[in-house]
Chain A
């Protein structure tokens, strides 16, 4: 897998959690009574798991192909 692409995918959560503080430092909109500040974290728990899994599946598939070749 292209190492630059891998780097970009893995670094995305940091961009949105650290540099993106201004995005989530707010109470609204609420979701089920939960301020945005809180449910933005829930959103990113799933996104981070998905992003890392994508890298894993691509690497894994490439590795299997490499073995056959």
Chain B
């Protein structure tokens, strides 16, 4: 194909990307903090975010490359299976509503900024705190990689040479994050959402209109799916063999989202528990547009006259836009996707760096480090985290359906569920039960991935009904927790663990 983009298109593309991110660079002028060096300021924006900012900050976790590139990509290669992401979106918020206000209350009272801070005190174990923290950081890496790989796919769709696109994408994320801190992404998130809304709404209205409505989209696409090997499973409906895989992927992803360090960051940055509850009630509405974007993956199959392969699936949305819109709009929409990938990658990297600083460096290496040292160390570690995610962008899964980078991270972070979520409701579990449960769960996940040659495939074999590996690991994990707890009961060793009293979960500020 001949490159349809003119110089003007490139100028527009880079201008939108740079201007949108530049708002983050000047963000420190916004509600100027007293000391920029203070880590609570840099990492949590001073725990001052109201309903609107938290809406954009948490909503930003949803409008990322995951929903704009990865999920429609899966729809273009595998049909209705991709809808697990919407089912997942529906199931996130009741969990958030129930658990996050409890975690928020205790964190505000005791000054926690990571869930690892909480785990340390709840189980009175510095080691468990660090273990849970490191698990979160490792789980963020493939998720960050997904954002960065997506940027490079968009750049490639713009005919930039493949060799430099990945490097450019990494540099963009690293520079943006290093300079701005959380206050930057929070403000940029608002602008980012505005740009994405304009682009997404234009696309989800125009494409179905152009193709004559949903009826021909689904009718034509099902012909193409029937013609491929994937046809047996796609569209998914009326093929219940993948029912367990579909529902466990959705449930596991929903349970995992707020176990990630970055999920906690957005929440603990809130002003009060009402802010969190209001957002938990309203954020599900974000899913409407996400569903429309996922269906665009099906529309891409119609426009391209064929089902995408996993290797080309990430081009589904970029190609659809390029084929159906004037190049000027395409450039703008591409810029929106790039900004929409940089901001969440940045939020994830900051959350990981905070955690490494507080729960590893401060805990084990230098307990007397000044706030200033901590803040600068965090900034340095952000770069380390972003560089480490590069490893995941070179995995086999990164050149297939990239949505499975996210489910890989989810499978890992799910193993922290007993230590974080369950411990919000009981003080009786010991560090040994949740620690060994973690070990069993992580081992199960790694063993499954080993059997699959670390391809990142999220579903286990038919032996386990194609269950999501994260949920399989969690079941093994919970079983071990129960057995060890049962042994403690039998030995009469059960007591109140840790230093946090149960009443601290429900104190209102």
Contact = CB atoms under 8 A, between A and B. Distances in A.
Contacts of A25: 236-240, 243
B423 to A, nearest CB: 18
Interface stretch (B66-74, B79-87, B111-119, B401-409): B79-87
Interface residues of B, number: 42
A46 B284 CA distance: 8
Contacts of A51: 94
Contacts of A49: 93, 281-282, 284-285
B97 A22 contact: no
A32 to B, nearest CB: 6
11 contacts: A14-B91, A25-B238, A36-B237, A45-B89, A45-B90, A49-B93, A52-B94, A52-B281, A55-B281, A56-B277, A56-B280
Interface in A38-69: 38, 41-42, 44-46, 48-49, 51-53, 55-56, 59-60, 63
Contacts of B86: 41, 45
Contacts of B288: 42, 45
A38 B238 CA distance: 13
B5 interface: no
B214 A32 contact: yes
Interface string B264-289: 00000000001001101110110110
B235 A35 contact: yes
Interface string B187-220: 0000000000000000000000000011111110
Interface in A1-57: 10-11, 13-14, 17-18, 21-22, 24-27, 30, 32-38, 41-42, 44-46, 48-49, 51-53, 55-56
| Main DSSP-derived SS at the A contact region | helix
Contacts of A14: 91, 94, 251
B278 A56 contact: yes
B281 A13 contact: no
B285 A45 contact: yes
B295 A13 contact: no
B97 A45 contact: no
A60 B86 CA distance: 29
B98 interface: yes
A36 B238 CA distance: 11
A34 B91 contact: no
B250 interface: yes
Contacts of B246: 21
B257 interface: no
A52 B90 CA distance: 11
B385 interface: no
A11 B94 contact: yes
Instruction: Please list the 5 inter-chain residue pairs (A to B) with the smallest Cβ-Cβ separation, ordered nearest first.
Output: A33-B215, A33-B214, A10-B94, A37-B237, A49-B284
A17 B247 contact: yes
Contacts of B215: 30, 32-33
Contact of A13 (B94, B219, B235): B94
A4 to B, nearest CB: 13
